[in-house]
């Protein structure tokens, strides 16, 4: 009887302790929520905001509709000093004015990515995209030299080779009516990043059914879906009722592939000290991975294989989908604007004439109008349509107090449509980015590669790749768009994609035309 009483007493104590702990946690969360609620009350908000659930019931679940909804909010509040949303109990300020964006991106206190980026951690770990604090600073300092201009020059050969394969694929489509070019361009970008990042050919353009290729796309979609569904943010809910199993299965394929490649390249480096390539008698082609295997920090310590995998996976994630989307949008815009199309081909004619030679670095410097086309395409359709930071300390944005722990969501898509800096913002005008037309434009009014300390480390690589691929396509074909602007329906997920692809017609052209 005493034992039973003792057991009952212990159980009662345990339950009481659990209830007390739960009550304390609830009290702390509620107190924090109310503190933020009253602090942020003066900030303009959309109608229908309720305590605790915020605006959650108003959000569309479809990715395309949700993105249109957010853009509509920014249009509605274009003249407002600031806008806030509540994602359940989590507050967010929506930023789409250059002066407000600069307040956040130019401050080292607000460098931490928001909570939704944590869903990338299983895949990317805490590499350059997702890390913060001291680890980010050290890693950025270590990796910056690998993006030096002279090193990027070595990747030009890969870009030319893969662009030529793409051109051959497109020849089969030329003169045969409309087709969706989105996957063709994307597979080319994937081949480029695999070979430049890992030194590994995956032959995506010739084998799009490859398990690895399919897993890269699948993982991006899985993460994006989870970010849009807060009820699957808790791991328990996600694993039991969401895509948890599919996520883990796909992750295993991706990590197994990169681990194997890292191991192979590491062994090759340890056995090969010479730069000569025994098969070709030329300088051995290096990949980012090779440089990472040799990179050391200030104390002379090398990166572990786990560290390297984080960065290689990050390069793979950030380095193909973004550039692929940008090139596809550019093709649509060129195909919709014959006068711009003619100017680009005239520039290509001036640089290359009747030659069919590969593109070199001097050529890229001369393709100034093509670069303006790419920049204007990124203005209208930024590859990353929005991104988020966590507010690191209480601050003021445009006169409003924003508490520590709130999220700042930068809507790049809307920022790039500010009439103060881009008159008639929906018009496609590459001339906006000629040097004389860019004078006086605030640096934070146009940020397709983010800005501040955490700007994209690979932006020169991306612009270089886009120039090479688009120049190769336009040297061989004339492009005609088969969709009107309103038919594109941009879908803002992790990457900005057209809902039903990019449909174009191609006609072969000789180098003289």
Where residue 9 falls among pLDDT bands split at 50, 70, 90? Answer: low
The secondary structure of 246-293 as a DSSP string is HHHHHHHHHHHHHHHHHHHHHHHHHH----B-TTTSSBPPP-HHHHHH
| Helix (H), strand (E) at residue 198 | helix 182-198
Residue 253: per-residue pLDDT = 93
pLDDT of residue 14: 58
Across 374-384, average pLDDT: 97
pLDDT for 274 equals: 47
What pLDDT is attached to residue 463? 95
pLDDT of residue 25: 55
At a CB cut-off of 8 Å and minimum separation 6, what does 268 contact? none
Q: What is the pLDDT of residues 318-344, one digit of tens each?
A: 888 899 999 999 999 999 999 999 999
Question: Out of 32-41, 232-241, 286-295, 466-475, which region has the weakest mean confidence (pLDDT)?
Answer: 32-41
Half-sphere exposure of 355 (CA within 13 A, CB side): 10
Q: What is the pLDDT of residue 281?
A: 43
Average pLDDT over residues 392-420: 93
What are the beta bridge partners of residue 477? 508
Instruction: Give the tens place of pLDDT for each residue, 292-303.
Output: 888 877 777 788
Q: Is the pLDDT of residue 89 over 80?
A: no
pLDDT at 55 over 90: no
Tell whether pTM > 0.85. Answer: yes
Triad 199, 203, 205: Cα angle to 5°: 130
pLDDT of residue 423: 96
Mean pLDDT (the chain) is 87
Q: For residues 160 and 157, what is the distance between their CA atoms, to the nearest angstrom?
A: 5
For domain 35-508, give the CATH superfamily.
Cytochrome P450 (1.10.630.10)
Q: Mind listing the pLDDT tens digit for each residue in 162-184?
A: 999 999 999 999 999 999 999 99
**Which residue ranges make up each domain of the chain?**
35-508
- Sole residue written with tokens 């082609």: 285
């Amino acid at each position: 009887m005493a034992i039973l009483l003792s057991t009952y007493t212990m159980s009662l104590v345990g339950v009481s302790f659990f209830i007390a702990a739960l009550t304390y946690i609830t009290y702390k969360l509620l107190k924090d929520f109310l503190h933020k609620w009253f602090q942020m009350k003066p900030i303009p908000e959309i109608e229908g905001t309720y305590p605790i659930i915020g605006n959650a019931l108003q959000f569309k679940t479809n990715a395309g509709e949700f993105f249109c909804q957010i853009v509509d909010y920014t249009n509605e509040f274009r003249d407002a000093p600031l806008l806030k949303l509540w994602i359940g109990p989590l507050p967010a300020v929506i930023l789409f004015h250059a002066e407000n964006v600069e307040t956040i991106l130019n401050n080292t206190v607000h460098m931490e990515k928001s909570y939704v980026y944590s869903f990338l951690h299983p895949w990317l770990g805490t590499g350059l995209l997702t890390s913060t604090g001291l680890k980010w600073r050290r890693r950025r300092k270590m990796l910056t030299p690998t993006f030096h201009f002279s090193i990027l020059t070595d990747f030009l050969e890969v870009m030319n080779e893969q662009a030529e394969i793409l051109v051959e694929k497109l020849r089969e489509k030329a003169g045969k009516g409309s087709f969706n070019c989105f996957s063709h361009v994307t597979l080319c970008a994937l081949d480029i990043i695999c070979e430049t990042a890992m030194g590994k050919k995956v032959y995506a353009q010739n084998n799009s059914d490859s398990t690895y290729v399919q897993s890269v796309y699948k993982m991006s979609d899985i993460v994006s879906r989870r970010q849009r569904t807060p009820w699957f943010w808790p791991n328990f809910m996600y694993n039991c009722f969401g895509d948890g199993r599919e996520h883990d299965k796909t992750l295993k394929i991706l990590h197994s592939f990169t681990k194997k490649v890292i191991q192979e390249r590491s062994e090759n480096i340890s056995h090969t000290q010479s730069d000569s390539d025994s098969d070709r008698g030329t300088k051995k082609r290096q990949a980012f991975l090779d440089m990472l295997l040799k990179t050391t920090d200030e104390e002379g310590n090398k990166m572990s294989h786990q560290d390297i995998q984080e960065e290689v996976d990050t390069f793979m994630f950030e380095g193909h989908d973004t550039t692929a989307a940008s090139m596809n949008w550019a093709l649509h815009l060129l195909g919709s604007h014959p006068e711009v199309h003619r100017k680009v081909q005239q520039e290509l004619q001036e640089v290359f004439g009747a030659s069919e030679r590969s593109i070199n670095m001097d050529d890229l410097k001369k393709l100034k109008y093509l670069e303006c086309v790419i920049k204007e395409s990124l203005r209208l359709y930024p590859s990353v349509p929005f991104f988020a930071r966590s507010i690191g300390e209480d601050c003021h944005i445009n006169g409003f107090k924003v508490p520590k722990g709130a999220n700042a969501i930068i809507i790049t898509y809307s920022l790039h449509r500010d009439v103060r800096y881009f008159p008639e913002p929906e018009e496609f005008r590459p001339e906006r980015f000629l040097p004389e037309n860019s004078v006086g434009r605030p640096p934070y009014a146009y940020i397709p590669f983010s800005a501040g300390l955490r700007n994209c480390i690979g932006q020169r690589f991306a612009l270089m790749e886009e120039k090479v691929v688009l120049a190769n396509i336009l040297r061989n074909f004339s492009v005609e768009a088969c969709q009107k602007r309103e038919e594109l329906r941009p879908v803002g997920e992790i990457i900005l994609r057209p809902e039903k692809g990019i449909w174009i017609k191609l006609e072969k052209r000789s180098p003289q035309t």
